[in-house]
Each structure stands twice: as C-alpha cells, then as structure tokens.
Structure 1
C-alpha cells in the first residue's frame, strides 16, 4: 500500500513522487493508494495518484485508491480523470 500524506499540495507533491516508483515496485500485487489521511490537498494530489497509476501499470500491476475524501473525487470528476483512479474494493 502506498500511503498518501495528510498534506499533498503543489509545494510537497514533487518530493512525494520522488520515491513513488520504488514504493510501487515494492508492492507484491495490486497497488493500492491509501488516501484516507488526506486533509489538505489540491489538484497535485491527482497528479500524484496518476503518477502512481502509471508506475503500477508499467510494472504490470492493477491500481486502486482507498479512502479518498469526497472533495478529491469531485476534483477527479472536474478534471475528467475519475475513471483513471478507481476506488479499491
């Protein structure tokens, strides 16, 4: 599981994505991004999730998001990427 931090804004997103590839590769199967801790975020959170998805798919793994705040879902729909970040079962 890849756990997103409580704050994921433009100012911190680049630093978070630095270790993303390694985090994805360390997952044994499906890559699940846990967004339940997100409290302060902007569209950069979507960029991080999409980067995580790209890394997962490149590694031949499924990708899903768990615990996404409602506002994150609203942003995803607004930007037209909601289908790319599916909710975990």
Structure 2
C-alpha cells in the first residue's frame, strides 16, 4: 500500500482507497497512470470513501493513459456518488462501458 496515494497493486489489479478529492487527486492520478503503463487495467474503487468532481477528471485521465499506451481499462465497484457525478457531467459515454455501477 502506498500510504501517500492510498493505492495498491494486487494480482494485476489497482485498488484505490480512501478519499479522492482536490487535495490528493494529482498524486493518485499520477500513480494510476504509472500502474496503467504496467498493464494494471482493472481498477477497483470499492474502498474509495469520499469523492468530488476531481475524481471524474482522474478517471478520464486514466482512460486517456490507457488509450495512449494501448491498454484496456476497466473500473469496478464505483461508489454510488462517483457514478452519480459521472452521469451528472454526462461523461458516462467516455468511461468504458459497464463502469458506472457496482460490479465484480
């Protein structure tokens, strides 16, 4: 676990933990991009405790990084408040399908 970013990689999956807000989103985004470059394309958000609109920007940056590096990306276990922000900002079409709700 990276205590600075609240992230860990386990069995090829990236787990994000704790708040994802304006205060810490830059570090989490950078760590996620680095993990995506290493082909950790499944990102589990079940342990995210708080979000603001910057979390949506983070997801979009990770999608972009995956596209640039030729990787597939899948978000699983999105918190309801994050899924709601994605729908509110009408960017659900930009997030890979099947990513806007609790799953696997």
Alignment: residue pair count: 87
RMSD over aligned Cα atoms: 1.7
The offset of 1:82, in angstroms, is 1.3
Partner of 1:47: 57
Give, in whole Å, the separation in 1 of the partners of 2:61 and 2:81: 19
- Decide whether the 8 Å contact of 2:22 with 2:54 is kept in 1: yes
Partner of 1:14: 26
TM-score by length of 2: 0.74
Give, in whole Å, the separation in 1 of the partners of 2:23 and 2:38: 26
The offset of 1:5, in angstroms, is 2.4
TM-score by length of 1: 0.84
Q: Which has the larger share of helix?
A: 1
Higher relative contact order (CA 8 A, sep 6+): 1
- Decide whether the 8 Å contact of 1:5 with 1:38 is kept in 2: yes
The offset of 1:2, in angstroms, is 2.4
SS of residue matched to 1:80? coil
Give, in whole Å, the separation in 2 of the partners of 1:53 and 1:65: 10
Structure 2 stretches lacking a partner, 5+ long: 1-12
Structure 1 stretches lacking a partner, 5+ long: none
